[in-house]
Amino acid sequence: MKVLKFGGTSVGTVESLRNVKKIVEGCDEQVIVVVSALGGITDQLINTAHQAAKGDIGYLQNYAKIVERHNNVIAGIVDKEKQMDLHTQTDALLEELGNIFRGVSLIKDLSAHTLDIVVSYGERISSVIISKVIKNARHFDSRNFIKTEKQFGKHILDVALTEGLINETFRGMNDKVAVIPGFISSDRDSGETTNLGRGGSDYTAAIMASTLGARQLEIWTDVDGFMTADPRVISSAYVINHLTFIEAMELCNFGAKVVYPPTIYPVFHKNIPILIKNTFNPAAPGTLISGEQPDPESKAIKGISSINDTCLITLTGFGMVGVIGINSRIFNALARNGVSVFLVSQASSEHNTSFAVKNADAETAVKVLEEEFAAELSTGDISDITPEHDLATVAIVGENMKHTPGIAGKLFNTLGRNGINVIACAQGASETNISFVITRDSLRKALNVIHDSFFLSDTQVLNLFVAGVGNVGNHLLEQIRLQQQNLLKDKALELRIVGIANSKRCIFDRNGIDIENYREALKTSELVATPETIRDEIKKMNIFNSVFVDCTASADIASLYGDLLDHNVNVVAANKIASSSPYANYKKLKQTARKRDVKYLFETNVGAGLPIINTINNLINSGDKILKIEAVLSGTLNYIFNVLSEEVTLSKAIQMAKDEGYSEPDPRVDLSGKDVIRKIVILARESGYKIEQSDVEKRLFIPEDCFQVPAGDFMRKVGELDAEFEKKREEAESEKKHFRFVARLDGGHVSVGLETVGQNHPFYSLEGSNNVILITTERYKEYPMEIKGYGAGAEVTAAGVFADIISIANIR
């Protein structure tokens, strides 16, 4: 024999009831079917009763809808020859219900007892209907054998009496199918109608299964089973195949709504497995809850659950330290007044005790404790009783956590890296559940990052905000688009673009932006792309594993880094302005990233996609010291000097560099040496030297007065230098030398300037827009380390930015 419970939308429509009929009639053993009200009817009954109590005549219309709903179900699912007999029963029940509504409307009063009677009609009517739908079924009224007593204003099951009456009613039952209403019960003394509370139909089914020794309890609902997390919050959540009773109990107690928490207790003691199934998808395997222990090699965490209605109450005082019985008084006082506590946290000093309750219970809890500890409050032994509202409680659950060292460390490190502050936490010695309290605003982010980090998700997600969709930004987005599926398939890494901004408009979508159509989306966006808007939208989204990618050359965008890092947003920058800004700002950004345990990466600031900064960092981190750097760091200038010839003048070479996309949008940045100065300052800083841009010695090849003219006149002014520069080129050519704009760091002295190099110099044969860097260290002293390759161009710069993004995911 087994017990099947159907509830919610699984008994809400004619279609779903056909599935119920097929499921039950397909069983080859004796079955007890426990049913709840038709989906949504309970809320309709409650709302209609409250309408009537207010004297709102609209209750009649709602009552008519309740009647119509039941009649439509009967017409759609019950055989015609049975309908008249069924209507005799349901019409009588509906008439009783209508009379109650009319009575409530007349006296304009709705007592708790009357409301209990009203809501009972949902299950009473649905169970009668379903007993006529299923072949060979017999109807029983659960009020005759499910008995309650009143404690703290709540109806509590009288276990002994209930079990005796169930045995008396069902032992020796010859019917193949018994149908009973869930949820409803009656008072053991008065016989008045009561109920087992929200979700009580699950509890009814568990009581029946436990008492009658059922082979299995099946809970048929509208989901495929227990999920690893709430799928409305985490799209990658999936069904858990198996849970132990303890794991299921922990998840239910912390908000998982698949099963009513008290359901598990009766069947646990009889070791009766529970199978969660989907009425609308019977073929799905569902979730089995049993006493079988998990495979030690399986995942440490089975699921994540949460309660978003939390108030944390804290008692503080030096008078609590070492005093025996304080906690006993706290929780006894709360229990006497019906306040349920679902989390307790106390430091070993005993200076304070914190506990979590629902927000609705907070005022009562504080009042009760103020009365209980009135004497201690007056003497100052207890200094304060403080409620903190609008919080959320999260629990990670899994019996294998006790076999896995470091779970708590990984959990809190993951939360901290994403800027989620843990207000209180608790873990029992069984190590099955780690619970913690956070702000409600952080709940979505916390659930996602935990699910992602503990491999409950099949993929790791990085959420990217891309600012700047010019040459570099556009190439980056295209590279991501082309590589997204490969990364997902081969590395289980999902790159999700959640924000894009150009110089005028910006778009944000936490579910992801279609890269192929982002330009059209930007054109139609009404969100103006100011730095403040970009910053505020990123912070407001408060999304996990977030990365801000700056592909602009804007000082205003660079000024956002500090605030974003401080809010645990990783920053990847092609923009050189921040890392070459005043040393104090550079240092603060690095310190903030370290403090918040996020990444501030700017590899492409020097050498585009060449691994220069990473190499320097690796050398220093392994104990080496940078003594000297000699480098050609401007792909633009190298391109210009490489294309110079008798036919190609200086001004023409500059225009060619701009046309080919090698130069900055304003070529004066390259020609003034500013770009190279920024780069050598960055390298000097990464090498451990405290250098400002003003410390750099400059030997420029274009006179300063050329940079004083308006931007539109700059190229004309440079043209006046063509003849003189051609003479210098011819002289260098005659000596078999090449022009190179060289940046140097030597013992803390930094310089940039135009030099000529001979055929034996490593810089001589540098082609196109390539960069080269020679790094002399204590280990690489006689033969400096050489890094050489493309040092300019949007495509390779974008690739370098992409590599920085990938490094944040820490994949191999």
Take residue 227 and report the two structure tokens written for it: 């999920």
β-pairing verdict for 216-221 and 274-278? parallel
In 3D, which of 669, 645, 601, 613 has the Cα closest to residue 738? 645
Catalytic residue from among 132, 277, 576, 679? 679
Residue 26 backbone phi and psi in degrees, to 5: -80, -5
Which residue do the tokens 């912070």 mark? 539
3-state DSSP assignment of residue 235: coil
What backbone phi and psi angles, to 5 degrees, belong to 346? -145, 135
What letter represents residue 734's amino acid?
S
Please give the Cα distance from 15 to 33 (Å, whole number): 18
Q: Residues 717, 732: contact at Cβ < 8 Å?
A: no
Residues 9 and 156 sit within 8 Å (Cβ to Cβ): no
What count of other Cβ atoms lies within 10 Å of the Cβ of residue 95? 11
Residue labelled with tokens 């409650």: 46
Helix (H, G, I), strand (E, B) or coil at 614: helix
Amino acid identity, residue 385? I
Estimate to the nearest angstrom the gap between the alpha carbon of 666 and the chain centroid: 41
Cβ atoms of 797 and 574 closer than 8 Å: yes
Would you call 265 exposed, middle or buried from its count of C-beta atoms within 10 A (0-12, 13-18, 19+)?
Answer: middle
User: Where are any strands of DSSP class E within 574-702?
Assistant: 600-601, 626-632, 697-699
**Is 679 one of the catalytic residues?**
yes
SS3 358: coil
What are the distances in angstroms from CA 563 to CA 288, 558, 566, 570? 47, 10, 5, 11
Cα 506 from Cα 216, distance rounded (Å) = 55
Contact 513, 481 (CB under 8 A): no
- Are 279 and 221 in contact by the 8 Å Cβ rule? The answer is yes
Amino acid letter, residue 104: V
- Cβ atoms 675, 639 nearer than 8 A: no
Retrieve residue 44's tokens: 């309709």
* DSSP calls for 163-175: HHHHHHHHTT---
Output the six-digit token pair for 218.
Answer: 């099946």
List residues with catalytic annotation: 679
